[in-house]
Amino acid sequence: MAVSRRKLIGSLAAGSALAAVSPTDLVSALRGTALAASPPGDVVGKISVGYQGWFSCPGDGAPIGGWWHWSRDRFQSPSPTNTTIVSWPDMREYARGYTTAYPPLGNGQPAQLFSSYDQQTVDTHFRWMREHGCDTAALQRFNPFGDEGPTRDAMTVKVRDAAERHGRKFYIMYDVTGWTAMQSQIKQDWTSRMSAHTASSAYARQNGRPVVCVWGFGFNDDGRPFAPAACLDVVNWFRAQGCYVIGGVPTYWRQGVNDSRPGFSEVYHAFHMISPWMVGRTGTLDGLDWFHTNVNVPDLADCAAHGIDYQPCVMPGDLSAGHRRHGDFYWRHLYNMTRLGAQGLYVSMFDEFNEGNQIAKTSETQATTPAGAGIRALDEDGTACSADYYLRITADGGRMFKGQLPLTAVRPTPPVAGGGPAPGGDLAAGRPASASSQNGPFVAGNAVDADAGSYWESAGAGLPQWWQVDLGANHPVARVVLALPAGWAARTQTLTVLGSTDGTSFTPLTGPLGVRFDPATGNTATLTVPPTTARHVRVAVTGNTGWPAAQLARVGVHAATGSSAPPTPPGGLTVTGRSSASVSLAWTASTDADGVAGYQVRRGGQTVASVAGTSATVGGLAPATAYTFTVVAVDTTGASSAPSPAVSVTTDPAPGTDLARGRPVTESSHVQAYGCANTVDGNPDTYWESAGDAFPQWVRVDLGASVAVGQVVLRLPPAAAWQRRTQTLSVETSPDGTAWSTVVASAARVFDPATGNRVALTVAATPARYVRVRVTGNTGWPAAQLSQLEVYAA
């Protein structure tokens, strides 16, 4: 039987062990907004984002001066050897950029960064928040009594202005790291400076109170050495000022271990809302699931028991460490915390390019990232992602959290809006480019940027020379468009176009031939090639009548688009594996005149996986649940096939689940009210008793689907009144309820109250839908007796 919320909260308040309640029962008992200590406000029921706002550049007017937070030595320009960042921002929407000492971008443009001190930057960020459902910004505020104080003060004004303009909320989030005189100065700062901002219509309020967060109490490190008494004094002081106080606390705050020092329980429970830190704790999907079950579920129970709101941290993953899995990591975190029933979500972070966990628009490819600097772009795992991808995931995740989208473990957000490349079909645009050589600033990336006047030129040491682009995936290349700047004089270049799937072995697609570039026709030439699958396209130049070097201002690569027929449907869809949370599928390939670009696995009309090959594993499924899947093929023009024939499958039960609980059950006979339904009701004190003096007797349960049975557990009521007895019994299984096999031979089984009146019988991984216990004798009563019949998967 599920634990009721009333029973759970009462037992917690009485000090019962949380471990006695299963995670599944905790989730069932706690999920839903009804348990929130507070009604919806500006943080409860909302998506909050951590906002650093701490980047400045020389010349931006910031009082602190220099490259604040962009470089280790802020008085030296950021470079690969003088940096604090691991990700690169997408700079296209900033009105002003500041040139760094990083190498030029992959497209040859100078490597520039933004300044948070520019009001246009803050306005841009808050516009993105408005467009993507970020409700509230937590403005980070470190010790303001040092040299950064004036800049922090000015940033608060800029954030307030942008929040008011874009209809967002904000609150002050104090980070006490390294703040020696924190206990007195944080009160002084709030009273003399920050509390004035609560008059703004944009300042976040919860339960009618202005919100303030204190991050860092209780962490087990030298940067936050404050004693519990000092921390409790600060929390209570803010409460006395009429504030709603959030605690940014260690991951293991509840237990006082690992990153949390012991002795802080009273401090943690003094907050109105608890927001545990998660950055750096895991980088895998399994890790997120582990934290959900073992940390978040009991955290929420503790908060509920103390009337505290729970705001777990969700994160997109460290891009620099390869954690993101093109969005699946972030979605799993959002999904887990939504199904948990958290009161609010805290996204870490909005603009944290230093730790690689930013959701702000980020460089899409190496073409817009400093060349050779080792900084990963969003396509780092081979999946093209638009710069705004993680903002779009935040928007969809926020809608799911608020109940505006169904709860789903499957990410609904495509990496590129619309699910494909940008309009225009140029597969090379913005992709990484390289060349045999370059002449000064005329780099290979100029041929795939958006500037028709920039160009690649090889070194003048002589021909042949080559230029090539990595399309990021295999495509059926059919057309290559070459161009020079429109105002250049006519010339002919002798060249060959080659293609490769691995970047090593190239095959000629056309040429060698003389290609005429004439200003009368826009200095553009279009080469049609036989449709050929290629990921890497190379242009090899052996001659140029206009200059002793190879020259290209633009190289456009286009896929075949001639067929109007969709792909053939995939065939032979079969289930190749399953677990309690996933199903593996395989199918036969489709055919298409334009080439098959990939396949979409669908469930209920919704795409749940997209792959290039003919197999896929769909994860995030519920245990012991029936699902139906189809597969469609998609060609390079975007056309979809008809669905494959459907296949249905039921996921395995969760490990440790009693498969018999609540299932249909039948019997040979019973007396009075002691029917067989008592054996599957989860109550050890009710029981089945057969008619007396009439052996053999049996009880049978229908599991609903065939399962590999590994264990059968039989119980009698645990009370001492049920004295020791021996029942002679066997266990039988059947796939259809008609043909039976004995899987546990008949033998005398001892039920002893000293060991819980429990008998566990091991079964050799037998597939079965029906399980039957046959009883032929009982030394304690002249009838068959069982209080529980439990069945577990192998």
3-class DSSP assignment, residue 71: coil
Q: What are phi and psi of 83, to 5 degrees?
A: -145, 155
In the numeric block, the tokens 């280790």 are attached to 72
- For residue 616, what are the contacts with CB-CB under 8 A and spacing of at least 6? 584, 585, 599, 601, 609
- pLDDT tens figures, 362-384: 999 888 899 889 899 998 877 88
DSSP states of 122-168 = HHHHHHHHHHTT--EEEEEE--TTSTTHHHHHHHHHHHHHHHHHHT-
> Is residue 13 predicted with pLDDT exceeding 60?
no
Of 11-20, 27-36, 492-501, 575-584, give the range with the top mean pLDDT.
492-501
Structure tokens that stand for 625 in this block: 């649940």
CA 522 to chain centre: 46
- pLDDT tens figures, 30-46: 333 334 579 999 999 99
Q: Percentage of the chain surpassing pLDDT 90?
A: 66
> Is residue 108 predicted with pLDDT exceeding 70?
yes
pLDDT of residue 38: 92
pLDDT of residue 567: 81
Max Cα–Cα distance, the chain, nearest Å: 110
> Is residue 467 predicted with pLDDT exceeding 60?
yes
Taking phi over 0 as left and psi of -120 to 50 as alpha, with beta for the rest, 418 belongs to left
Mean pLDDT in residue range 418-432: 62
> Is residue 421 predicted with pLDDT exceeding 80?
no
> Is residue 605 predicted with pLDDT exceeding 80?
no
Burial class (CB in 10 A: 0-12, 13-18, 19+), 127: middle
> Is residue 455 predicted with pLDDT exceeding 60?
yes
pLDDT of residue 638: 55
> Is residue 9 predicted with pLDDT exceeding 70?
no
pLDDT of residue 478: 82
- Mean pLDDT, the chain, integer: 88
Of 107-116, 131-140, 420-429, give the range with the top mean pLDDT.
131-140
183-187, 376-380, 473-477, 661-665, range with the lowest pLDDT: 473-477
> Is residue 508 predicted with pLDDT exceeding 70?
yes
CA 387 to chain centre: 16
Q: Percentage of the chain surpassing pLDDT 70?
A: 92
- pLDDT tens figures, 243-291: 999 999 999 999 999 999 999 999 999 999 999 999 999 999 999 999 9
> Is residue 771 predicted with pLDDT exceeding 90?
yes
Angle at 164 between CA 163 and CA 166, to 5 degrees: 65
Helix axes 119-131, 149-166, angle to 10 degrees: 40
Angle at 754 between CA 749 and CA 756, to 5 degrees: 70
Structure tokens that stand for 609 in this block: 């996986």
Rg over CA atoms, the chain: 33
Amino acid making up residue 26:
L
Structure tokens that stand for 299 in this block: 């955290």
- pLDDT tens figures, 62-72: 999 999 999 99
> Dihedral of the CA atoms 659, 665, 667, 672 (nearest 10)?
110
> Is residue 563 predicted with pLDDT exceeding 60?
no
> Is residue 21 predicted with pLDDT exceeding 60?
no
pLDDT of residue 606: 65
> Is residue 424 predicted with pLDDT exceeding 60?
no
pLDDT of residue 451: 75
Burial class (CB in 10 A: 0-12, 13-18, 19+), 626: exposed
209-213, 629-633, 780-784, range with the lowest pLDDT: 629-633
> Is residue 17 predicted with pLDDT exceeding 60?
no
Structure tokens that stand for 99 in this block: 């040139």
pLDDT of residue 257: 96
- pLDDT tens figures, 518-551: 887 778 888 888 878 889 999 999 999 999 999 9
> Is residue 693 predicted with pLDDT exceeding 90?
yes
pLDDT of residue 348: 96
